[in-house]
Amino acid sequence: MSDEFSHLSETVSQELINTANTYTIVVMEEGTHHVAGVIHPEHPIDNPFDLDLSQFIPNAPVLYEGFIDILTELIADAQAREGTVSTERVQVVQEYPPDMIAELGDEIISVKIISREPARMSRDGKSRPNRRSGHAYEYINPGEPNKVLCVESRPIDHTIEIAAWGKTSTLANRRALWLERLLVAHTWAFTSKGVKPFLWLKRGADTVWTPSSTRLHQRPLQFSARMWEYTVLAYPTLREFELQLKVSS
């Protein structure tokens, strides 16, 4: 028996592969033809057959580093909406800021991890820690046509301390209440990015620090945040197979 092959080819229009092409993402209201909004109009297309829409997914995975970026942007935006000039806005730093507060003004907000552990997946959140990665989904990237990309994920629970610091107790108390109300009211800013759940736990004990003879008043707030770590594994696709049949008499 001779080998038989089937070939299919198509000529792609030069206009489609022109790097000057752009596309527009439009959000439609469900069940209607009303245009609810336009996202990133006139976005350039490098390759029309390798269009990455992940940037438009609202619950794209966020690591702890991304959590800090969201927090920083939210605090800056809130102060801008209140009319605070840029030179007087409270800055966000990581860990404790005693050596930095003299340079950044009378107030500062710090963020750090209190605990980071495998998520407890029981209904009450007290047992069944998930220590291993599990299958999330698979996809084929046009840039890797000979491989199947398998994405695995593992949930991690964080206890995060977000603290208000001030050179007076009045400043620290006022900023702590402002910060608590802001983050509770804007929980959606974190959950929409995949930080689920994001919950305010408590306000900790007031603390006074005296580095370099400077009195600093700290008001710590603790939040619980579940984030997902992702691992990508590549497997070769099955391109051909050989079937052998043996008939026994």
Identify the three-state secondary structure at position 80.
Answer: helix
Query: Is residue 36 scored above 50 in pLDDT?
Result: no
Mean pLDDT, the chain, integer: 77
What percent helix, strand, coil does the chain show, rounded to 5? 20, 35, 45
Strand partners, 147: 236
Domain ranges of the chain: 7-56, 59-236
Q: Report residue 29: phi and psi, to 5°.
A: -70, 135
Instruction: Give the mean pLDDT of 7-14.
Output: 65
Q: How many helices (H) and strands (E) does the chain have?
A: 4, 9
CATH topology of domain 59-236: STM4215-like (3.30.2000)
pTM above 0.75, yes or no: no
> Does residue 163 have a pLDDT over 70?
yes
Pairing mode, strands 92-94 and 22-28? unpaired
Q: Mean pLDDT across the stretch 47-70?
A: 66
Residue 145 confidence (pLDDT) above 80: no
Torsion sign across C-alpha atoms 63, 67, 68, 73: positive
Three-class SS state of 177: helix
pLDDT tens per residue across span 226-246: 988 877 777 777 656 666 777
pLDDT band at 79 (very low <50, low <70, confident <90, very high): very high
